[in-house]
Amino acid sequence: ARIGPLDAQFPFYYEEVEWSQRARRAGYQLFTLPSAEAIHAFGHSSRGGSPRVQRWANVSSRRYWRGRYGRAGAKLVAALSTVTVNQIAAPVHDLGAIDKPPRLSWSSVTLPQVLQVAFDPLFESAATIFPPGSTFEWPAALWEEMPAGTYHARLLSGPSCQPVTRWRWQCAAHA
């Protein structure tokens, strides 16, 4: 069965999720390959979280959730995205301006644990990592691709994703 290309009605984000759903409806199975490793050039397509790109991401989000759950579902998802994790509950460790990849570490937490990285402190558009231990070291190849700007990271713990700790730092432009 034909699936078609990515839907251009999604100006930023969600297009691959919507495409994956069409593939499943067409009878295809999607798989992950745990041994595969990819480096995503974090922030390059989003231009460091510019207001215009954030608007595009919001348009895509609303369109995706409305298509999946209707208008009421889209409004509910939008409302929940602002209240699900209490930002004040976790301390912030300000790493300042750094020129080498940060090594983030934390005390043992309830699994699953989720590490998120974003340009904004609300984590509306965040890269998500599922670290197996109690530290995360940025791969050098990823660090070299990260654009200059302020970054925020947070560790969430347990099935309810309770905030454990947060970090903030400024990344200088790479030579």
| Residues 98 and 74 occupy one common structural domain | no
pTM: 0.63
Alpha-carbon dihedral angle through residues 37, 113, 15, 82, given to the nearest 10 degrees:
-150
Phi-psi region of 142 (alpha: psi -120 to 50; beta: other; left: phi over 0): alpha
pLDDT score at 45? 67
Q: What is the DSSP string of 83-94?
A: TSS-GGGS-EEE
Domain boundary among 80, 113, 128: 80
Query: What does each of the 175 residues of the chain score in pLDDT, given as a tens digit?
Result: 789 999 999 888 888 889 998 999 999 998 877 677 776 666 666 655 677 877 887 788 888 888 888 888 777 777 666 554 455 567 899 999 998 999 999 988 888 788 999 887 877 777 888 888 899 988 888 888 788 888 999 998 887 788 889 999 998 766 5
| Residues 166 and 95 occupy one common structural domain | yes
- Residue pair 6/15 in contact by the 8 Å Cβ criterion: yes
Residue ranges making up the domain that contains 58: 15-80
pLDDT score at 84? 47
Domain boundary among 46, 80, 114: 80
Count how many domains the chain has.
2
Domain boundary among 29, 50, 80: 80
pLDDT score at 81? 63
pLDDT score at 33? 76
